[in-house]
Amino acid sequence: MALEQALQAPGARPAGRRWALRGLLRFARKKPGGAVAALVLCLAILVALGADRIAPHDPLEPAVVRRLSAPQPGFWMGSDSLGRDVLSRVIHGSRISLYVGTLSVLAGTAAGSLLGLVSAYLLGKFDLIVQRVVDSMQAFPDLVLALLLITFLGSGVNQVIIAIAFVIAPATSRVVRGAVLSVKENAYIEAARSIGVADLSIVFRHILPNVMAPILIVASVWLGNAIVVEATLSFLGLGAPPPAPTWGNMLSSGSLGHMEDAPWLAIFPGLAISMVVLAFNIFGDALRDIWDPYLQGR
């Protein structure tokens, strides 16, 4: 209460900052789990950005003398089969996972949202063709579709981003299409048409702002799924090539031949994946509960 009163005091802070802090406090009160998840995600982002300074060792430097060393002071997560520090590799692996997840979700969400907007607004034959294509793509499991695309594109970080974005776009377009079909029937859309507002202006000035909530919710949920798909592709050897430290590569090398004598090689990258993905899912659920008008009255 004291903090809220200080925020409301005149001249305490600029109006924009007070509004943002009030929103954060309100979000933390209503969704404490979502607030904790947001803190975890902020910590993961900070670790990824400052990996060069935070990591205690070079993630690519081998040392045969400490090969498969158990966790100990100085090497808190042990070392791998080449003597590289697992903690440093987990820290640097967060860069690739968050980079791939963020770019693929941005690209896939943008493409799917645009397709859903245009399809729902135009309807007719264009909408029919687009929805049949979307149905055929969604008939494949996400990982199978990503593997199929990687087969044609080749392995690598950029190819993984394209493949995951291609998987995200159809599901996003279906969600956005449903939201647009509901919004376009409102009276203000008919009023805009009646005074001669161009279709492009109606779509991007009147419809898009009103469907941003489901777009942001879908994007937050897909961030966790994208990290899982990236880790799976790296586990199969189709992601970033070795010796680049990725969580999927570390899981693959730790689970093949070292689960009994060095289980830490798979445990720590697996915990990193689980923690970040769980945080994204909890944060996405919190955003959905707050922004979805059908759930606000619960």
For residue range 95-150, what is the model confidence (pLDDT) as tens digits? 888 888 889 999 999 999 888 888 888 887 888 888 888 888 888 888 888 888 88
Burial class (CB in 10 A: 0-12, 13-18, 19+), 25: middle
The predicted-structure confidence for 202-259, as pLDDT tens digits, reads as follows 888 888 888 888 888 888 888 888 888 888 888 777 877 777 788 887 877 766 667 7
Residue 118: both structure tokens together? 């245009």
What pLDDT does residue 252 have?
Answer: 76
What pLDDT does residue 73 have?
Answer: 84
Sorted by where each begins, the domain ranges of the chain are: 81-291
Domain covering 81-291 assigned CATH 1.10.3720.10 in the classification: yes
What pLDDT does residue 14 have?
Answer: 57
Residue 2 predicted with pLDDT over 50:
no
Burial class (CB in 10 A: 0-12, 13-18, 19+), 207: buried
Determine contact, residues 90/77, Cβ cutoff 8 Å: yes
Give the separation between CA 297 and CA 215, rounded to whole angstroms: 21
pTM of the model: 0.79
Q: Which residue has the tokens 């593997």?
A: 147
The predicted-structure confidence for 173-207, as pLDDT tens digits, reads as follows 888 888 888 888 778 777 877 787 777 888 888 88
What pLDDT does residue 4 have?
Answer: 44
DSSP letter, residue 74: T
Alpha-helix residue ranges (DSSP H) falling in 55-123: 86-122
What pLDDT does residue 97 have?
Answer: 85
pLDDT confidence of 7, banded at 50, 70, 90?
very low
- Is residue 107 helix, strand or coil? helix
